[in-house]
Amino acid sequence: MLQVMKSHEVFLKSGVSAKSVHAPGVTFGLEVITPELAAEYLKMNRKNRRMKMFRVREYISDMLSGQWEWNGSTISFDVDGILIDGQNRLEAIVKSGKAIISMVIRGLPRSAQRTIDTGAKRSVADDLKIGGGLNVNATAAAAKLLCAVPRGLASNNTFSKSDVHRMLDNHPDIAMAVQAVNTKHIKAINIPIVAAWYYCAKYLLEDDTADEALEVLETARERFPDDPMHAFRQRFSNDRIITRNERLRLAGLWTLFRAFDDSKAMVARKTVKLMRTEYRLSGLDYSLLK
């Protein structure tokens, strides 16, 4: 708050002044939106697009975990009292049973709905770039993939930005794992998948053989005949199937987990197949990925 006050003082000292205006019929105020109030507001949701249930699930996750933060977004009604913005947040409030604070604006022109949510959403990678991070797209993707590891392929396997940021806050070395993989010049294989495996093996399990396995992915030099890590490299280099969606990326990570375990055990495999069922890296405690 003090920082905001100081910024405002500098703004005023610059000689530029803000001018307040009055918009007839438009009112606004900060409100505590309880589940009961949210349900009432949703009764006025008559001219809106279909709800984005994946977004609702993200909001519910944040509300239940205490990660919800008010960022100035509003609940908006037009001159007829029709809800024109905020339906996903209101639905999440009802389903989570949690109250939040929000600015509520009433009396907006009917045409205002056409201009809502037309801007680009800021991604986790955008946030990392603003913070001065490197390899931001791969780091964000690896962190999201690691969020999925303990949950598997559940139908409600949805992660909010807060989930991914929390993973990065709790596991800052994910960025180091991404950097290590990047320096190996193995871009033919999906970097987030390799980085997620390398983080689990090298940083969580402190297994130094991960470095040797990473060398196989880079150089294609087998440590023994029919090394499964080499087979993984041969099978998934320049193969876009494991990048099509989150479920296939997770399947790719399981496949790499299995290849690494088999390679450590000196189990020879000429080929590997994409795993469609969960495989847990040997020794990995899912509680570590919190």
Q: Give tens-digit pLDDT for 86-112.
A: 999 999 999 999 999 999 999 999 888
**Cα separation of 46 and 33, whole Å?**
19
Residue ranges, CATH 3.90.1530, the chain? 23-110
- State pLDDT tens for residues 222-281: 999 999 999 999 999 877 777 778 888 899 999 999 999 999 999 999 999 999 899 999
What secondary structure does DSSP assign to 74-109, as a single string?
EEEEETTS-EEE-HHHHHHHHHHT--EEEEEEEEE-
> What is the architecture, at CATH level 2, of domain 23-110?
Alpha-Beta Complex (3.90)
Full-model pTM = 0.69
What distance in Å separates the CA atoms of residue 72 and residue 209, rounded to the nearest whole number?
48
| Rounded-to-integer distance, Cα 163 and Cα 61, Å | 8
CA nearest to 257, candidates 201, 215, 209: 201
